[in-house]
Structure 1
Amino acid sequence: MSERAVVLIDGGYLNKILPALLPGRKIDYEKFSDMVCGNCERLRTYYYNCMPYQSSPVTPEESEKYSKMNQFIRRLEQLSRFQIKLGRLQKYYNETGDVVYKQKRMDVLLAVDMAQLSWSRNISTAILVAGDSDFVPVVQTAKDAGVLVKLYYSDIAVHDELLTSADDKIKITPEMLEKVALRKFI
C-alpha cells in the first residue's frame, strides 16, 4: 500500500485562526489539503462545520449568513476528494443571559471518522487541523492502530494536551498560508 493520508479539518477552528494569520484573505482548501499531505497520497479531506443558526422567524442577517455559508459548502463539495460533514449550531444563554452558540456533534463526527479510517487500515497518516483537547482520545486511538498523527495548529488556539498527544506538530504560519491563499477575495 502506498502512503495514504486523510485530512480532517475542524472548520470552526480554521475560521477562528485564519483572520489573524491571513487577514482579509481566504485559502484554497484543495491546495491546503495537498500541501499538508506532503508526499502522501491524499485519500480524502473531511471538512467539519455547522451551518449558521436560524431562529424562527429567520432574521435577514441570519438568512444572509446562511446563504453565504451554503455557497461556501457547495464550492467545497465540488473539490476533488472532499467530503463535508455538518453538525448543528445550538443556541444557549450563559449565566449572565448573553446568547452563546455551541457546535453540536462536530467533535464526535470527526472522531468517529478518524478512528474508523485508522482501524480499517485505509490510511497510514491522519492529518488533523484542530486545537481542541476533545480530540486527544481519538488521536491515541489512531496511534494505537499504527497511524501516524500529524497535528496542524496555531498558537492562537491550541490545547497543550492535544499538542502532547500528536506524533508530529506543525505550526500553521502566515507564510504557509500565503502559499495556498486565493489571489482574489471570494
Structure 2
Amino acid sequence: MPTAILIDGGYFIKRFRAIEPQNAMDAGRAADCAFRWACAHLSPKAAGHSGDRKDATQQSRRELYRIFFYDCPPLINKLHNPITKRVVDFSRSDEAQFRLELHRRLRSMRKVALRLGHLSTHVQWTIKQDRITDMLKGKLKLEELTEHDVIPNVRQKGVDMRIGVDVSSLAFKRQVDQIVLLAGDADFVPSAKQARREGIDFVLDPMWAQISESLQEHIDGLRSTCPRPRPKQPKAILQPAVDLVV
C-alpha cells in the first residue's frame, strides 16, 4: 500500500528558512524543496548490500499516495500601524507575495494537494518578542517604539483540524499503510495515536528540530530527509586596535 505525506505549511516554512536562509523569500525553491524532501521518504535509508544498488533502491521504493500541504492564505488586509497611524497594505508585502506564489506552484505539482485554512478575522497588533524582552530589561521605553517594532498578530484557523481529519480518513478507509507527517507540534498526538490504532505506520519528520517526549512516545519512526540547519556562528569579537610603539 502507498504512503501519504502531510506537511504543516507554517512549520515547514520556518524550518526551510532556517535551513536555507539565503532562499527565505524564494517561493519556487520552497515548493521544490517541499516536494523533494517529502518524496525522499519513499526511499529506504540505505540500499541493498548486493548487486546493483540502484536496482535495490528502486525495488524497495514505496508508492506515493499524495502529498498534502496545509497552510493559510496570507494577510492581505489594510491596517493602521499603531505607531505611525498610517495605512499599511499587507497585500503588497513580501510575505504575502511569497505565500501566494508558493501556493500557486504547489497547485501545479503532480500528486500534491493544497489544503487551505483561513485567518482570524479579528487582527490585532502586537510588539515583537525581542522588543518586549528589551522593555522588560529596561533597555527600551514604550515611547521609543518604532513602526518596525510592531507586527499584526495573525492567527491561523482550521489547519490542525484539516490535518486531523485527513489522518482519520486515510486510516479508517485504509487508503495507505504509512503516514509521514512533517511537523513538530505535540497537538498532533491524538491524530498519531488514532492512526497507529488502525495499524498505520506513523512516521514524524521534524526537519531536525527537537520534539517533545509526548510526541516521541506516540510515533513509529523519526526521520528527517532535509539537510541539517547550519549552527549559528557566534558573533566575532572585535579586538581593540593596538598602536605599535617603536
Q: Same fold (TM over 0.5)?
A: yes
| Unmatched segments (≥5 aa) in structure 2 | 24-28, 44-60, 80-86, 133-149, 230-246
CA 1:51–1:159: 2 relative to 1, 3 Å: farther
Q: 1:77 aligns with which of 96, 107, 116?
A: 107
Q: 1:135 aligns with which of 188, 191, 206?
A: 188
Structure 1 residue 53: Cα displacement: 1.5
What is the aligned-residue identity percentage?
A: 25
Q: 2:220 aligns with which of 131, 156, 167?
A: 167
- 1:181 corresponds in structure 2 to none
CA 1:175–1:93: 2 relative to 1, 3 Å: closer
> Partners of 2:172 and 2:179 in 1: how far apart?
12
- Please tell me whether the aligned partners of residues 68 and 112 of structure 2 are also in contact (alpha carbons under 8 angstroms): yes
The answer as to 2:62 corresponding to 1:62 is no
Structure 1 residue 14: Cα displacement: 0.7
Higher relative strand content: 1
- Please tell me whether the aligned partners of residues 130 and 158 of structure 1 are also in contact (alpha carbons under 8 angstroms): no
- Please tell me whether the aligned partners of residues 7 and 37 of structure 1 are also in contact (alpha carbons under 8 angstroms): no
The structure, 1 or 2, with the larger RCO (C-alpha pairs under 8 Å, 6+ apart) is: 1
| Unmatched segments (≥5 aa) in structure 1 | 177-186
AA in 2 matched with 1:87: G
Instruction: Provide the secondary structure at the position in 2 that maps to 1:134.
Output: helix
Higher mean alpha-carbon deviation, 71-80 vs 90-99, is at 90-99
Structure 1 residue 59: Cα displacement: 3.5
> Partners of 1:166 and 1:48 in 2: how far apart?
20
AA in 2 matched with 1:150: V
Q: 2:75 aligns with which of 21, 28, 53?
A: 53
> Partners of 1:122 and 1:48 in 2: how far apart?
19
- Please tell me whether the aligned partners of residues 77 and 89 of structure 2 are also in contact (alpha carbons under 8 angstroms): no
Question: Which has the higher Rg, Structure 1 or Structure 2?
Answer: 2
AA in 2 matched with 1:20: A
Higher mean alpha-carbon deviation, 153-162 vs 70-79, is at 153-162
Tell me the number of residue pairs that the alignment of Structure 1 and Structure 2 aligns: 174
- Please tell me whether the aligned partners of residues 151 and 168 of structure 1 are also in contact (alpha carbons under 8 angstroms): yes
List per-residue Cα deviations over 1:44-82 (Å, max 9, x = no partner). 000001111232468444334333322211111111111
> Partners of 2:174 and 2:166 in 1: how far apart?
12
Instruction: Provide the secondary structure at the position in 2 that maps to 1:80.
Output: coil
- 2:116 corresponds in structure 1 to 86
CA 1:107–1:40: 2 relative to 1, 3 Å: same
Higher mean alpha-carbon deviation, 107-116 vs 17-26, is at 17-26
> Partners of 2:117 and 2:194 in 1: how far apart?
22
The root-mean-square deviation of aligned C-alpha atoms, in Å, is 2.6
Structure 1 residue 12: Cα displacement: 0.4
- Please tell me whether the aligned partners of residues 92 and 100 of structure 1 are also in contact (alpha carbons under 8 angstroms): yes
